[in-house]
Amino acid sequence: MKYAVSSREMKLYDRNTSEHFGVDTAVLMERASLAVADTVDEWTAGRGVERKYRVLVMSGVGNNGGDAVCTGRLLAQRGYIVSVCVVGDMTRCSDLLLKQLAISEKYGIVENTFPGACSSDRAYEYDIIVDGLFGIGLSRNVMGDCQSAIRFINESKQLRKEDLFVVSIDMPSGVNTDTGAIMGDAVSADVTVTFNQVKLGHILYPGCEYCGKLLVKDAGITSESFLGREPGAIFYDGDATDLLTPRKRDSNKGSNGKVLIIAGSMNISGAAVLAASACLRSGAGMVRVFTACENAEVVKALLPEALIDVYEDYEPVLDKLEMAMKWSTQAVIGPGIGTDGKGKELLGTVLSYCDKSLVMDADALNLIAQDEELMKLAANYGALGKKLILTPHMGEFARLLKRSVRECKENVISYAKDLADRLHATVVCKDARTIVADSNEKKIYINISGNDGMATAGSGDVLSGVLGALLHMDMTGFQIACAGVYIHGKAGDYAASAHSRYSMVASDIVEALPEVLE
């Protein structure tokens, strides 16, 4: 796992490095600027053209501007033709920026104030733009000259395309570090060079789309600077199987998990098939599908490996379901069960009588959102110490919290943690960046695998099956959820590669699971 830090956390670690360990901030700035200058060198070397490249350094009035001006000086010393443009109120320049400007002036670097160096007729003048307008502290919409400067950068890029290289320092100017939101306008960078830790805005949408290639360079602010206060968010980008406990060589079908999947209804059969097939493909030893009798032939034909229990619409389910729950070691409930009729009866029975780890998805979530008694049963379930994983998409998440989708999107990290605490559960909030929060964990997980092709019917049913299969592992609910969403997303990436993001369907994700778990 890797950390993703907020602006407040990064500022604290920066301060700890200087004040606790005694590393001068000017030294940190020099190291950061060297990393940016090296990145520019790599771009020019890759073009294979021996000539003088022209660089425009766009500096704000804070320390990010100091990084930019320092980078410009280093590039000038390497033979680049450098112009520095300071954007903003010069009376508010930070001390470090003023120091860098003084050094730059002594090296004969041309300094301009906005818009002197950035008129529209000069868009073709520069080969490289260094974006140092804002760092990680932006908290309100950009406006005035700063907004005009950002638009100049983007318009120049649109005109010049691959002939102009835009590199942002730490964060593309205009992207909110903590949320990834675009604060009015934002620089669309080719490369973003950040230092020591990935920031939340680098991986959250839509900010991540403005970063271009993200490079994490060492400027000297290492994990020692946490001083016991670790970041609150993590993500992962490695091998999926490293997230799982090793499969025992002498295991058998019983010891690899007996999963009960309560899914489907009179008019819905696909949800049960997708969840159960994903469960089998994710390592479950045995799968038992509990579904409406109308689905029996479909399940038998498509999943010969699965056991099946069926119920008639008119009959009570308690006795049959109790037997199936006793057989199982873990369970999944919700995909396609409906929110009236049998759906409510099935969920009430499971929450009242099941004593196994449980994944709740889809209609199970809608049911507890609309029924206070079922919500209390769900909270009780988690409070008894059993693993309980909820997998709402953003609409279901909003219904559970009785808030608008927009508000939930804007506060997804804190709201996911609040819901997890209230239900004593692990909450997997599914979106372009899925968030995992847990009542027993201080950290939240941000999933970066997956793609927009997974926004297709049945994709969530596949995830519930994957999570159901993993529940038998000797891992916490949080660890299982993190692994499950990462595996699901990676399978989606394989499926998109094979079928395209436009053409892939949920069953393609199931078929890709063996490649992820190889």
Q: Kindly report the CATH number assigned to the domain that includes residue 177.
A: 3.40.50.10260
Q: Are residues 126 and 27 in the same domain?
A: yes
Say yes or no: 124 and 194 in one domain: yes
Same domain, 184 and 315: no
**Model confidence at 137, in pLDDT bands (50, 70, 90)?**
confident
CB-neighbour burial class of residue 229 (10 A; exposed 0-12, middle 13-18, buried 19+)? exposed
Q: Are residues 199 and 61 in the same domain?
A: yes
Q: Over the stretch 47-62, which tens digit does the pLDDT of each residue have?
A: 988 889 999 999 999 9
Strands 233-235 and 2-5: antiparallel
Write the CA distances from 198 to 187, 232, 446, integer angstroms: 18, 12, 12
Inter-axis angle of helices 270-281 and 506-516, nearest 10: 10
Can you tell me the distance from the alpha carbon of 157 to that of 124, in angstroms, rounded to the nearest whole number? Answer: 10
Identify whether 143 is part of a domain.
yes
Look at the pTM and tell me if it is higher than 0.85. Answer: yes
Residue 241 within any structural domain of the chain = no
Q: Is 242 contained in some domain?
A: no
- Averaged over 399-418, what is the pLDDT? 96
Residue 317: enclosing H or E segment and its boundaries?
A: none
* 154 pLDDT more than 80: yes
| 240: in domain | no
- Reading the block at residue 310, the tokens are 């069926």
Q: Which region among 38-52, 118-132, 139-153, 442-456 has the lowest average model confidence (pLDDT)?
A: 118-132
Q: Does one domain contain both 200 and 277?
A: no
262 and 230 belong to one structural domain: no
User: How many other C-beta atoms can be found within 10 angstroms of the C-beta atom of residue 18?
Assistant: 17
Q: How far apart are CA 313 and CA 293, in angstroms?
A: 8
Locate tokens 């996911």: which residue?
416
Long-range contacts, 474-478 (Cβ 8 Å, 24+): 474/245, 475/244, 475/245, 476/387, 476/438, 476/440, 476/441, 477/357, 477/387, 477/388, 477/389, 477/425, 477/426, 477/438, 477/440, 478/426, 478/436, 478/438, 478/440, 478/441, 478/445
Domain-embedded: residue 243:
no
**Which domain does 446 fall in, by range?**
255-516
Helices (H) and strands (E) in the chain, counts: 18, 19
Give yes or no: residues 93 and 197 share one domain.
yes
Residue where one domain finishes, among candidates 174, 207, 235: 235
Which is more confident, 253 or 517? 517
Question: For 240-290, what is each residue's pLDDT tens digit?
Answer: 999 999 988 888 888 899 999 999 999 999 999 999 999 999 999 999 999
Write out pLDDT tens, residues 167-201: 999 999 999 999 999 999 999 999 999 999 999 99
Task: Tell me: pLDDT of 117 over 80.
Answer: no
47: in domain: yes
Q: What pLDDT score does 251 carry?
A: 85
Phi and psi for 227 in degrees, rounded to 5?
50, 45
Do residue 231 and residue 341 come from a single domain?
Answer: no
Q: 17 in a domain, yes or no?
A: yes
Last residue of a domain, one of 182, 206, 235: 235
3-state secondary structure of 362: coil
Sign, CA dihedral 148-137-75-161, equals negative
Mean pLDDT of the chain: 95
> Per-residue pLDDT tens for 314-362?
899 999 999 999 999 999 999 999 998 899 999 999 999 999 999 999 9
Residues of the chain above pLDDT 70, percent = 99
Q: Do 229 and 264 belong to one domain?
A: no
Q: Please tell me whether residues 183 and 305 are part of one structural domain.
A: no
Examine the domain organization and report whether 200 and 325 are in the same domain: no
In angstroms, what CA-CA distances link 462 with 364, 382, 446, 452? Answer: 15, 23, 19, 15
CATH number at residue 505: 3.40.1190.20
Q: How many domains does the chain have?
A: 2
Do 191 and 283 belong together in one domain? Answer: no
- Which of the listed residues 206, 235, 264 is the one where a domain comes to its end? 235
